[in-house]
Structures are given as C-alpha cells and as structure tokens.
Amino acid sequence: MDQPEPLPSRPAQPGRGLLDRLGRVGFGMSVLTIILVYASFGSALPQVRGALEMTEMQVFRHWLFTGLILLFTLSLVIATWRRIRWNVINLGVLTVHAGLLLMIGGALLYFATKIEGDLLLLSPRFQVVRDNGQAIPGGEFAARAGESWSRNMPALGGSVRLEVIEIENGDMRGVTGATVAVTHAGVTDTIRVPGDGSAVPIHDQLRLQVQNFAPTSNFYDNETAGLYYRAVDEPDLLVSAVPGLPYYRERYLDLGPELKDRSGRPVPSKRSNPTLQLGSGGPTIPTGWFEPWRLPIPVTLGKAPFTATVTGYLPYVAGYSEQPVDGGPAENPAAMLALSFGGDTRSSWLLAREPARSVFQAGVPIEFRWVAEAAERDDLFRPLIATHELTVEVLDADFSQAFAVHSGQSLEIEAGGYTLEIDQLIPAWPLVSPGFEGATSSVAMVNVTRGGTTFSRTVIERFPHLTQDIDADGVRLRTGLLDDNIRLTYRSTPRGRLLLVAGPDLAPQLGTFDPSGSLEVTDLPVGTRRAVQFSGVELDVSLPALYSHAVTSRTPVVEDLERRRPNVGRQFSAVRVELQGLGEHAGWSETHWLPFSTYPHVDARPITVRPPGSPKAYELLYSRLRRDLGAEVAPDSLQVTFFPGRRSVESWFSSFFVRHNGQVRAGTVQTNDTFAVGRWTLFQSGAAQDHWSFTILGVGNRRGILTMVLGCVLITLGCTYAFYVKPVLLRRRQATGRRRRETAANLPEAIKA
Amino acid sequence: MNATSPSRLLSAALALWISATAVLAGPEPFAASEHARHLDPDINWDAVSLITVQDGGRYKTLDSFAREMMTSMYGRESLPGLSPLASLCDWLFRRQAYVDTPVVRIKDKGLRIHFSAHMPEAARTRIVSSSYMTPRELADPTVRARMKELETRTLMSRAVNRAREAQFVAEALERLVNIVPAPGAEPIDPWFTPDRAQANLSDAMLAAGGTTREELISRFGDPVPGLSPETAAAVVGPWAQVRLGWLSGDAAKVQAGLDALAGVLPKIAPEVYPSESQRMAEARYYAMGKFTWGWVFYFLGMLVAIWALVTNWRVPWGLGMILLVAAMAIHAAGIALRWYILGRIPVANMFEAVVGSAWIGCMIAFVGELLYRRRFFLVGAHATGFLALILGQFVIPGGGTLTTIMGILDDVMLRIHTVLIIASYALIFLAAVIAIVYLYGYYLHRAATRSAVTGLVLALAGFFTLAATTLSAEPRLAQTMIGVGLAGMVVLVASRWLSGAARDTALAVGGIAVIGGLVAGTAPAGFATGTGGTLVVTGLVWALLTGAGIIQQRLARPSTEPALAVAGGAPAALRASRPVMAGGAPGDESQASSLPVWLQHCDWCHLIILNLVFIMLFVGIILGAVWADYSWGRPWGWDPKEVFALNTWIIYAILIHLRFITKNRGLWTAWLSVAGCLMMAFNWCFVNFFIVGLHSYA
C-alpha cells in the first residue's frame, strides 16, 4: 500500500485557541462561579449596595453582570456547538442549552427595559360639610351602596345618620349621582346627591356632597427621581428627570451649613462623588464608570428662568430646622447669641423683627433690638429707677415723671387730675395680637380714674403701641385709647435681663440690667466673648454672628442612625437644589432643600422661589419621575376581606375604569390577580388603612416573559430527558453492542473471514 | 475478636445514652401557683378545652389559646406544675398573686440589660441570667420609658415587640378571651369577651349587681350586638361562677361554671362555631406535642441505619426500615392533623415548611431504599427527619403555633411552588448526608490518618475560636485576634513553599489561626460561639468515627466483605449495574480499582437524589416566578431569597458539569453537594431571619 501523501499543514488559526478556551466546560463553570459570587454579594450585602448606591435591580442590570452573562452565553454556545454531538442521545442537554439561551435572551430583554412604579387612585367619597362649606373632621365616607355614616352632634340637635341607598356610576366619570337616606331626630328622609360636587342640604347647618377624582394617565417611577416645577399661576406641573441621584446614603457637596442629626450629632457627607481615595491623602481613583450615581446633577427646567443643580441628597430626614443666613433682599436683623455659665453653654438665634423670636430665655431673658439711631439705643440703655418703673406723661399738662411702682400702689397725678391704681404687674404676659403670637412681655395693669371715669389700661413694656384700654363695662378697645391725654410707659426688670442693641451703623452693645434696675453697657463685637457681671455672677456672653439682612434657610435634621428603618426608599429623603438665574436674572442664585413627595399631585410639599424682579413665583417639588401609562384610569372602589375578628386584612380588591384606545372598560386587580393595560401590568401594591379611601396600583412592564417561559419549559424537559431517558438509551445501545459482539464472536470462522 | 464487635458495642452504648437522657427535669412550680395546683387535678378540662376563642384572626380552642398565651408570656405552654388551662385561669383570676414572681420572659438579652440597668444588683443579675422579670418589674415606669425609647430603634424594634406581647398578656389577658360570638354573625365578625357581654344583661340584673350599663360600657365597651339579656346571663353567670370558684378554691363551682360555658357558647351562633371534630383535632394536636417527638424514632433509626451501613447486615436494615415507617407515620399524623385543622396545606411558615419538607424527603428516600437497598437512603432519611422534628420542637421560633396564612400566599400556584422548593431543600439535605458519608468513606480509604488528624485540627480550631471569642470581649484583643487571623493567612500562603511534616503543621496552625482569629475578631459573639462549638463537635466526631473506621478496617476479615473493606470491581460490570435513575452524567466507575464498591454505590445514590433536586428546585423556582408574575406583576425581582435559591441551583449545575471534566467525580460531587446544602441552609435560615426582602414572611 502506498504511503499516503502528507497533508499540507493547516495555516494557524489565531481565533481557534480562543474558541477552544471559551468552549471549555471549566471556563463556563468558572464564569458561572463568578456570577454566583457576584449575585451573592450583590444580594446578601445591602451595605455594599448602599455604598455603591445601587438598588437590587441596578446590581443585576449592571454592565458587569450583563457582561458576565454574555460571556457565559458565549461559552455555552461554543461548547454546545463544538463539544456536544448533535444526536438523539444528547437531545436532553441540547434542549437544556437551547432553553438556557432563550431564558437568558428573555431575561436580558426583560431587565434592560424594566420599568416599575405605581399610581394612586383616590376613591369617590361623600363629604359632610357645614353650610359655610367647611369640612367636618371625619366627615368623609366611601361613595358605595350600603355605606353609612353617623355622628352624634348635640350642638346640631342630636344624632345624624346617613346611609347610601344607591350609587349611579359605571364609567370614567365616577359617581354621577347617589340616593342617600338621612336620619335626624328620628325622622328619615331620602335625598338625591348629584355627582358634580354641588352640596345638598341634609340639615339646617349640614350639607352633603360627592367628591370625584379625575382619571389619571400617569404613574410614578420607583427608581428615577423627578424635579417638578411650574409658575404659581399655571396649572400644569412640568417634570425633569434627576438621573443618577443617590438612593441610600447621605451625600452632599460641602456648600452649606453642617448638617446634624436629631440628637445634635454632625452628619458628614459620605463620598460626594463617585471616586475612591486610597488612604487619607492618597491618590483618588474615579469610579463613575462602575457606580451609577453622580453629584452634582444638572437638571434642565424647560421654560423656567433659572437652572437647577442637585448638590445634595439625604435619605433620612426627620424634620427641618430654620436658621438665618445673611444676604437677604430686605433688612431682617438676626443675631446668634451664646451664653455660658458654670460650664453650660446655651445659644440661640434672635430675630429682631419677629416678636416671638427676639427674646431668648437662657435662665435670664435676653432680648435683641435693632435701632436706626444712637438716640434710640440710648433710650433703651437707660437705667431703671427701681425694679418696676412706670413713666407717666400727661400731655395737656406737659407732665412727665417716672415712678417706682408695685402692685396695689396708688398714684395721684395732680397735673391733669388723674388717679392711677397699679392693679397687677405681670412679668410674662402672652400676646395674641396678629403678628405677635407666641411673644410675651411684661405688663402693668393700671386702673386710671379721671373725673369720675375709670378705665383699665394694659401697659405693654416691649411693644408700647399694643397698649390697650378696657372701659368700665369690661369692653376692650381694639383700636386707639380711651384717653390719649395720659401716656403710660412701663419698664421692669424683676429677674434682671440682658439687652443686645445694634443697628445699621451702630456696633452691637450689650446692656446688663440688674434686678434693681441698674445698668452696665458693654461693647460686644461679632466673634468676641465678654464676661459680664449679672446679680453677682460672671456670665460669658458672645455674639458668633450678626446679620442685618438675614433670610431663613431651612436645614434638614437628619434621622438618628439607630432610628432609621431599612427599605423605605426615598420616602423620607430630601435633595438640595441650587438655582441659578438665567437671562435677566443672571447672577441670582438660591439653595433649597426640597422634601420628597410620594405623589406630586397629592402630598405635594413644594417650595416657592421668585427671582428678583420676576413677576412670577415658581414652585419646585421633588418626587418620583412621572411616566405615561398610555391609558386613563379612574377609581371606582377599594374593598377588603378580613380574617375572623376584622382586625387584619386577608386580601385587597381594587376596582376602576380604564379608557384605552378610546374604549372604556371596568378593571379589577386584587391580591394574586393583575390587570393588563397596553404594555403595562397593574397589580395591587398598597391600600389605605381605613380600607376604603385610596388604593395603590403597582405598574410594570414585562417584555421578554414568553421567551423566558419557553426557555424554562425547554430546560425542564431537557433535564428530564438527560437524567431519565438518556441512560435508558445508553443502556439499550450498550446491550445492542454487546449482542452484536456476542453474535460476531459466535459466528464460524469462515463467515468471519 | 469478631469484626462486628465494635459496631455492636457502639450501638449498645448509644441506646443506653438515649435512654438515660430521655426524661428531662422541668422547673420547680412557683409558690404563687400553690392555690392553682390544688385546684387543677380536681377539674376535668376535657369539655372546657374545646371552647372556641377568636384570636389572631383564627378560631382556636381554649386549650390552644392557653398554650399560646403562656408561651407568649412565659416561654412555655404552661406555668410550672400546672396544666395550660389551669395556668390560663390562674393568670386570668389571680394575676396579683404573681406580681413578684419572675414569670414574664424577655427573650432578648440586650433588652434585659436595658430594662434592668437601674435595678439593684441582685435583680439585675437574676433578670439578665434567667431572662425572666416579675410583672412588678415590668410595670416599673423606667422600664416602660426604656421600652418606648428602644422601640424607635430599628434593630431593637422586633425584640421590643416581643416584649410588648409578653407584657400585654401579663397585664391584660382578659381582653383577649373572645369566646362570645354575636348571634347571627358572619364568620369574620368579631367575637367578644364575657366581660363585655355584661352590658347586655337586663336592667334588673344590672341593678341587682349594683352596676349600670353606662359604667360597664365605659369599662368594657359597647354591648355584644344581638345578644339577648337571657343569653348574656347564661354566659356572664357561669363566667362569674368560674372566677369566684377559682378565687375561693372551690373546684366543684369552677367545674360547674366551665361546663355551663362549654354548653352554652356553641349554641349562641352555631353557624359560625367550628365543628366539634375540628376542635377535638386541634386539642389532640397540641396534646400530642405537635407530634414532633417523632424525632426519637428517627434518631434511633439513624443509629440503626448506620449500623446497617457499616455491617451490611439485613437485620439492622430491616429494623431501620421499620423505625423509618414508624417515625414517618408519627410525622405524617402531625402534618395531616395540622392540615385538617387549618383547612390548608401546612407549608406557610418555617415550622410547617421544615416539618412538611422533611416528610417528603423521607418518603422519597424510603422509596429509594426499597428500590435499591443500599442503606444510604435509610441513613439520609432518618437524619433528615430527625433534624426537622428536633428543630420543630426546640429551635424554630414560635414552636409551630397554628397561624393564619397571609392572603397573598393563599394561592394554588404558590402552594405547588412552595411544596416543590421545600421538598427539594429536604432532598438537598438528604443528599448532603449521603455526601458526608461518601467523604468519610473516601478519606477513610485514601488517607485515613490524615482524615482523623483533620478532624482533630478542626476541633482544635473550634476550641481556639471559643477561647478567642471570650478574649475578644475586649475591643483591643478583638483587633489582636484579627491580627492572628491575618497572620494565619500568611502561614497558609507560606506553606506552599514547605513540604512534608512542616507543610502539614503550617497548614494546621494557619487554618486554626485563620478560623479562630477571624471568626472571633469579626463576628458577633453568639455566632462565633456557635461556630466554635460546631467545629469542636463535628471535628471530634469526625476524628472519632475515622478512628473507629481505621480500627474496623484492621479488624475486618476480607472474607466477610464488610461494607468499608476495599473491594474493587471491573468498570464495565459496575457500569452495567448502575441504576438508570442515577442519570446520564458520567460515573466514577473508572476509579473502580482504587475505590471500594460501596463508595460507587454511594455515588449512585447521591446522583439519584441530586438529579431530582436539580429538576425540582428549578421547577419550584420557575413556578414561584410564575406566581410572582401574576401576583406582583413581575416574575423576578432579585430578592435575596430568589437570588440564593438560584445560587443553590447554580451550584448543582456546576456539580453536574464538573462530572464531565474531573477525575474524582464522586469526591467533587460530594463536596459541591455539601456546598449546595450550606447555600440552601443560608437561604432558608439566614436570609429568612436576617435579610429583609419580599420573602421575610417565609
């Protein structure tokens, strides 16, 4: 036999080695192991997710995870193509691998396009209102046949009971009318309540009206935040997405005052941009290619005459503290005063223009006054002649004299023929005049008698213009005085007091009034500390800040770490937004913390800004991004079923109307049952605790589901085949081979030859 | 000496140990219970125990109610020395007698420390060490203020809720005894306490009692809707009789009152009152301790099964099968009775899932054992059943209390999903038991001494972990321990360049330092102590069993062919005898000349279970996704429970594929099976209780 010619050597195929490696089972299993480790860390360590600002969905939608899946898919395809023989024996594994490919394809599509959110449907309701339109607390009940409401109102003549006999509805308009039985004073009447919101009398002083809610065609994204804005006189809220907003940790650029938690501890920002610093002072590595969050985040606000930049995010805000900062448009004096005594330091902001906030009680009352001229200051810095001093001026007699007074004392003022009786001297009288609510002042109650006429005068120390007279019949004169000829001025210092006085051109000075009425005045420049003697005790007083044009800045108070509840999303969050004027407002800027609203149209907590010179004010609101549902949904009702005892709910049932492609149809979702509207699936997501007033429908899309289902079916069938059919086939093949060998062995040699 | 003597001796010793520890002493009765202890035996509780109470969204027997309330407050189903119903009555009527008795259990040590910080040393020590407070201590304004303060702290809120439940039972139990239905009520309408029914009495009766309707309404609430004065009198009268009889120690009076109540209550609203058979079933279920005591049979069976495996004898195998049938029958009785009482398949909480899944696992293993008779299924079945029931009886929170199922979980697809998932979990554990047997046999055959030493090293690591945990109570030493762990890592890396005894020593020392140092230095004290203890026990058991195996091998005569002896076979013959159910993945028959046949059989049995696990777990996960799709609108949310169920499946996918590329297939399979079991346990226990997710109820 001729020696065959040697085959020409194949040219080297550079990709072949790579294909071999990718197609190895070991490689595929290694990738699978990395996927397993990634999934374990991403899922079981919320701290890691929090540090990287990734939700569970983002962890598993991340390009790294997607890359690993694609690499595994590639390995799977190559291994299947090159390593597995395509025959009946291997039908099982081929089916499983085909199923895996389908499942992976469906899942990639599903998660790449996945959007989830929810919408709120407020149930139509009856409202019991007073005849002036004022709502009665607790006077709402569901607009549903069979519902009842009753209230015992003795002031209105006894019990009132309402029972809904019939509801007319059935389309997107909600309740179009209702028949209600009204029982009052034992008499029952039936009335018809229209659905247009007009109120129908049910009693002399009560009315009943139906409240319907407009259909909604939007839902709100669970993941992406939105910044809403509108001019105050415009109805529509416009929205811009805030992409890359952090989710879990407090992160803010160092632009404003230090934030503190509820217990007063500082809350420094975590990393305020996606970088990683190696050691303190070490090199910084940008990590934005891996982490999805950003700061600052510029947000375009369409027609607004300003731009917005998100410069901070807080996930847990317990409340807001209001604090003055300098730079306001109008004069608004504010002073931060601190007082130390025996190691205890207390400090407070004092606002000279706000009566309730111009005094600080730190064991001793401290008041802040802002005066225009030195003469005013000198008038304030006059020693008292005694603890209580009453200055009496009689205008027609050109009389003026200060008296040391006490309760029960009687003064005869010969000039003018007045008799004054000091009725009461009250150190802290609460003021109720508009604009002075919450403020207190020392007050002298003086009975004034002249020519047989007596009236009582309430002389108010801090705000003399509020001084009022009460006539002999006990009627308080709201404006003016009964006798303008006599002018009383009261000053007192029963416990001593400190008075800080400053002005536009006047350096701050502190007056220390002793209980005896003596005075010592000290210069108190900003940022300095002064020791003052007060009733024989040395006090340390300092003035850390003094602003002439203060504006109030709302600063969030962060929730204490140990009180934070996990998995609350953005519910308690806030963002800091820096606004920069555009065009004619260039150069103007303001910074605000905006609290989160779950639904911008329901629980909105907007802030209002007005660029200087702008005719319009604008509302800004931080919430979730609004998305189009592609259909209108109008509420019908929420119903619940209970466990025995009616204390805990077993399941919820929401009914509503949907207008989609011009057609109106009734829809329901309930526990374990969804409803499809176009490409969106609605499901029961939340409900009101009163079991009727609102329902929350979850909204999500589900592309790629069928592909995944098909893949899963194939995997199951393939596994079953590989585990239980393939061994039988192999056994048969082995038996056949064995029989053939035995047959061949038993054949006569001649036949074999 | 006969080769099987050690096995027989071992069996006898274990049987003796079980007998000796069968009965555990209970706590001493309280002095305050003396009054009730005299009454309790004189009262026939049979009829009374079937009175129905509406509580926790469920209708339950008074007996169940008593057990659950006492468990909430005291941590056991009854006060020491009293029956559950006597405990209930004594607490309802003579609560003041216990005001200084440490009877309210505060389970969480952190809370106990907070609550007792201001108390005298003796009280503080008692409360912290015993976990019981007196009602007076609990009513202390400082304790209440601390409770209020602590419940705002997220990490403490669950513990505070438990304490509040105990406190509510201790202080206001009578408000929960809702035994009076409203006539004509719907099944979901609320029931009422006998105290509240007083407001339904006629004016004459109220006047005779020296009270007014308004006064009663202000104290107990509005009258029971629709309850006539006559019926109210038929309830309120006997209730008062029971109270007076109990206080005066008159058992006959108490009995008369209770019997009257048991007679009248079912007639008030017969249409909503649970059937007598259902109530009796519930009473029986509790009386039988929820049948979890079946673990004794499983435990005995496990010893017998190991005996059968070691000796290959038919007698212990038959005994093991009988014990398995007996244990499964008890186990099944508990599940069936629970199913009947609840009216739904009992797979809605941890107790039900563990107990139910174990039974399915045992049943599959029983069938496998009947078909293949290789002993491995028998050992695995007994171990699975034993673990499940002992967890159910002693460990699982709530102790298997009958509860309602959340509405969202009441779904056919979800039930199928749950049953498949938990059944696959049981099989995963069963497979891991077989895997451990394989690993034991493999290392006994290949490197017996090394295996025994490894066990000892693990035990030493455990001891070191325990010691280091004690030392780490001081923060400075905790850092030192982390340093020790890191140093151990360096030693482990350095061992790469060593050889022989030096390498082995470095590996052992490094391993001990890494385990003990890092666990003690970084993990919470409870976890570190648990890890240390587990390592000590498993390490010692492993070393001892390996030692016993070595002795057995040396004593064995080849002619007797005991299971652990080397008995290689021809690969082709082995392949031919391989069960079809072991699947299409390559077997370990090429190792036939170097491994005993029984290990080949073990590997086959292991594969039979793993194949089932692979399919059942996958289908279970997918059906869960199907349910989630139509319930939540999304099939997959990357919830931790979902992720770790998928991770478990991925481990088995890797396991199957590694059989195509590794040489020691059985060994790899065994190790990955153990890893899969650990992943499953992490998913079932850790994820359920410590990671908040959509499945936190599971």
pLDDT higher than threshold 80 for residue A523: yes
Report the 10 Å Cβ neighbour count for B649. 21
Domain extent listing, chain A: 122-213, 331-377+497-548, 385-492, 626-701
Report the 10 Å Cβ neighbour count for A275. 13
Q: Give the C-alpha distances (Å, rounded to integers) separating B568 from B553, B665, B666.
A: 15, 16, 15
Record: contact B627-A672, CB cut-off 8 A: yes
Instruction: Quote the DSSP letter at residue A572.
Output: T
Tell me the residue type at A448.
Answer: V
The helix/strand/coil state of B18 is helix
* B615 has a chain A CB within 8 A of its CB: yes
- As a whole number, mean pLDDT of residues B143-165 equals 88
b/e per residue, A642-674, with b = 16+ CB within 10 A? Answer: bbbbeeebbbbbbbbbbbbeeeeeebbbbbbeb
Confidence of residue B26 (pLDDT cuts 50, 70, 90): low
- As a whole number, mean pLDDT of residues B460-485 equals 85
Alpha-carbon dihedral B472, B473, B475, B476, rounded to 10 degrees: -50
Distance of CA A22 to the CA centre of its chain: 50
Cβ distance A727 to B575 under 8 Å?
no
- pLDDT digits over A371-385, tens only? 999 999 999 999 999
Alpha-carbon dihedral A379, A383, A385, A387, rounded to 10 degrees: 110
Q: Which of residues 102-131 of A touch B (CB under 8 A)?
A: 107, 110, 114, 116
- pLDDT digits over A579-598, tens only? 999 888 888 888 899 999 99
| Euclidean distance between CA atoms A459 and A482, whole angstroms | 13
Q: Where does residue B273 rank: exposed (0-12), middle (13-18), buried (19+ CB within 10 A)?
A: middle
- As a whole number, mean pLDDT of residues B585-605 equals 85
Cβ distance A549 to A327 under 8 Å?
yes
Output the pLDDT for position B9. 52
Cβ distance B533 to B466 under 8 Å?
yes
Residue in chain A nearest B153 by alpha carbon = A563
The helix/strand/coil state of B79 is coil
- As a whole number, mean pLDDT of residues B619-641 equals 89
Out of A589-598, A732-741, B437-446, pick the least confident: A732-741
Instruction: Quote the DSSP letter at residue A564.
Output: P
Confidence of residue A170 (pLDDT cuts 50, 70, 90): low
Q: What is the ipTM for the molecules in this complex?
A: 0.86
| Euclidean distance between CA atoms B647 and B455, whole angstroms | 29
Instruction: Quote the DSSP letter at residue B9.
Output: H
- pLDDT digits over A254-297, tens only? 877 789 999 999 999 999 999 988 877 788 899 999 999 999 99
| Euclidean distance between CA atoms A598 and A572, whole angstroms | 10
Pick among B153, B188, B662 to test the A interface (most A CBs inside 10 A): B188
User: How many percent of chain A have pLDDT more than 70?
Assistant: 97
pLDDT higher than threshold 90 for residue A682: yes
> How does strand A334-341 pair with strand A344-351?
antiparallel
> How does strand A344-351 pair with strand A284-286?
unpaired
| Euclidean distance between CA atoms A200 and A683, whole angstroms | 37
Q: Name the packing angle between helices B276-287 and B62-74 (round to 10°).
A: 40
Pick among A45, A109, A672, A685 to test the B interface (most B CBs inside 10 A): A672
pLDDT higher than threshold 50 for residue A213: yes
Instruction: Quote the DSSP letter at residue A476.
Output: B
pLDDT higher than threshold 90 for residue B4: no
| B215 contact partners, CB below 8 Å, separation of at least 6 | none
Give chain A's mean pLDDT: 89
Record: contact A39-B632, CB cut-off 8 A: no
How many angstroms away from the CA of B299 is the closest CA of chain A?
33
Q: Which two tokens stand for residue A681?
A: 């699936």
Cβ distance A445 to A405 under 8 Å?
no
Residue in chain A nearest B683 by alpha carbon = A44
Record: contact B411-A673, CB cut-off 8 A: no
Q: Give the C-alpha distances (Å, rounded to integers) separating B15 from A705, B318, B411.
A: 57, 17, 45
| B651 contact partners, CB below 8 Å, separation of at least 6 | A36, B672, B675, B676, B679
How many angstroms away from the CA of A36 is the closest CA of chain B?
6
Confidence of residue B471 (pLDDT cuts 50, 70, 90): confident
Of B255, B214, B263, whose CA–CA distance to B235 is shortest? B263
- Taking every pair of C-alpha atoms in chain A, what is the biggest distance, in angstroms? 163
Distance of CA B393 to the CA centre of its chain: 6
> How does strand B52-55 pair with strand A116-122?
unpaired
- pLDDT digits over B444-467, tens only? 998 999 999 999 999 999 999 999
Beta strands per DSSP E along A461-605 = 468-470, 486-492, 497-503, 506-513, 519-523, 529-534, 537-547, 550-558, 574-581, 589-595
Q: For tokens 């079809």, what's the residue?
A: B580
- pLDDT digits over A38-78, tens only? 999 988 888 889 999 999 889 999 999 999 999 999 999 99
| Euclidean distance between CA atoms B142 and A457, whole angstroms | 50
> How does strand A334-341 pair with strand A275-277?
unpaired
Record: contact A643-B188, CB cut-off 8 A: yes
Of A39, A60, A722, the CB nearest to B647: A39
Q: In what order do the strands lie in the sheet with A200-201?
A: A135-142, A125-130, A206-211, A200-201
Pick among B53, B613, B629 to test the A interface (most A CBs inside 10 A): B629
Q: Tell me if the domain spanning A122-213 has CATH number 2.60.200.
A: yes
Domain extent listing, chain B: 36-64+178-283
Output the pLDDT for position A112. 92
List phi, psi (to 5°) of A260.
-130, 160
| Euclidean distance between CA atoms A78 and A588, whole angstroms | 62
Instruction: Give the ranges where A282-432 is alpha helix by DSSP (H).
Output: 374-380
Output the pLDDT for position B40. 94
